[in-house]
Copies of this chain bind each other. A is one copy, B any other.
């Protein structure tokens, strides 16, 4: 089953949206994340549905079929391996690689991506802590929690992020809140839910509620 550049982007977006929420994904959300209009989304959903890549009934939202999910995972595999390559081999910052990987993820060649995987030493996670799907379509399922889910006194290690915008990643870099850092929850300010965390060297850092939701940790 061959999917076009655009079709791949739709499938990937729908995969991400169904991961982060309920089963059925709605038209407006898709239009929003793909920077397009709901009418265009409807057109594409009909097309993908005819190709049996997703289940679609008018007004009811969509879910991926197995072939559809498979294509999405292949694209995500490519995206994350290229990100790893760009950071580890070409020394890009973790905030610079997303747009490049959006292009590279559409290069068609199973052989290429498997050799890249091998060249990189079969990494398990990309530079943002996201798991890299294997060639056979399996993907580690995350049991990461956002910092905001920690109770006061609890400790964790930063292992991922939930938002990939350059601005957010640059902010984390500047605060030295990078993957692998151990932190513990100090307190939550009642007024605006600002979170105070402590790093290994006993430094206290205040982060906003929004930021705390987007930093993921293992316990």
Contact = CB atoms under 8 A, between A and B. Distances in A.
A109 to B, nearest CB: 6
A91 interface: yes
Interface in A104-127: 104, 107-109, 112, 115-116, 119
Interface string A54-98: 000000000000000000000000000000001001111000000
A103 interface: yes
B90 A119 contact: yes
Nearest to A89: B119
Contacts of A86: 112
A180 to B, nearest CB: 24
Copies in the complex: 2
B115 A90 contact: yes
Contacts of A100: 107, 109, 112
Contacts of A108: 103
Of A104, A112, A115, most B-chain CB atoms within 10 Å: A112
A112 to B, nearest CB: 6
Contacts of A104: 107
Contacts of A109: 100, 103
B92 A115 contact: yes
Contacts of A103: 107-109
Nearest to A92: B115
Interface string A171-208: 00000000000000000000000000000000000000
A90 B114 CA distance: 10
Nearest to A107: B103
A100 B100 CA distance: 17
Nearest to A115: B90
A107 B97 CA distance: 13
Interface of A: 86, 89-92, 100, 103-104, 107-109, 112, 115-116, 119
Given A90-B115, A100-B107, A100-B109, 10 more contacts: A89-B119, A90-B112, A90-B116, A90-B119, A91-B115, A92-B115, A100-B112, A103-B107, A103-B109, A104-B107
